[in-house]
Amino acid sequence: LAHADPASELPAGMLALGGSFRVKGPSGEREIAVEDFYTGLFGTALEGDEMLVEVEIPTMAPNTGWAFQEVSRRHGDFALAGIAAAVTVDEEGRCKTSRIALFGVGDAPVMAREAGALLEGQRPTPEAIREAAQAAAQRDVDPPADIHASADYRRSLVEVLVRRALPIALERAGAHHLR
């Protein structure tokens, strides 16, 4: 977690779940929200004399589901792109909260805020999921190109992964009408 590799799964999982980190150093302890912890390529909010000593993951609310998907060239390789998502639905099946974290597509894990905002308050129809996936790919990320994948390919992976992961998370949350 403190290594902050942008292709690592665990930071994105923490971002999707809304966790926090307790860090300790000579000047004392402090808590850092996951949204504030990752600062860039292999960068964190840790000071040079601090160390990560505890991870806190909040208990998931009722009617919350999660999903995780990633694509790599070979098993065990770093991810070209991935998603960790957690969604909560209300009694009528509308999306109350949507936390979509993407990895392998930036200098740090990326919260797909526009994609999540499109779902919140809505019934998670296939069309709504498609729109959220397009928003994630086109507006929430600015993926790098490297020897493994072009930026356009990573964008297309984001769209596919969001379209695959959200129905799984929503079904786990109790939105069974999707299938």
User: Model confidence over 156-167: pLDDT tens digits?
Assistant: 999 999 999 999
- The confidence band for 3, taking pLDDT boundaries of 50, 70 and 90, is very high
Q: What is the pLDDT of residues 85-119, one digit of tens each?
A: 999 999 999 999 999 999 999 999 999 999 999 99
| Confidence at 76, pLDDT banded by 50, 70, 90 | confident
What's the CATH fold of domain 9-56?
A: 3.30.465
| pLDDT score, position 179 | 46
The domains of the chain are located at 9-56, 64-178
pTM of the model: 0.93
For the domain with range 64-178, which CATH number is right: 3.30.930.10, 3.40.50.2300, 3.40.50.1100, 3.30.390.50? Answer: 3.30.390.50
For residue 42, pLDDT over 50 is answered with yes
Distance CA 55, CA 120 (A): 27
Compute the distance between CA of residue 55 and CA of residue 96 in angstroms, rounded to an integer: 25
Tell me 176's DSSP state.
G
Question: Which pLDDT score, from 0 to 100, does residue 176 have?
Answer: 62
Residue 7 and residue 79 in contact, taking contact as beta carbons nearer than 8 Å: yes
CA separation for the pair 100, 4 (Å, rounded): 18
* Residues 84 and 98 sit within 8 Å (Cβ to Cβ): no
Helix/strand/coil for 32 = strand
Which band of pLDDT confidence, cut at 50, 70 and 90, is reported for residue 175? confident
Nearest to 60 by CA among 176, 172, 175: 172
Mean pLDDT score of the chain: 95
- Mean pLDDT over 19-47 rounds to 97
**Mean pLDDT of the region 121-129:** 95
What does the pLDDT read at residue 90? Answer: 95
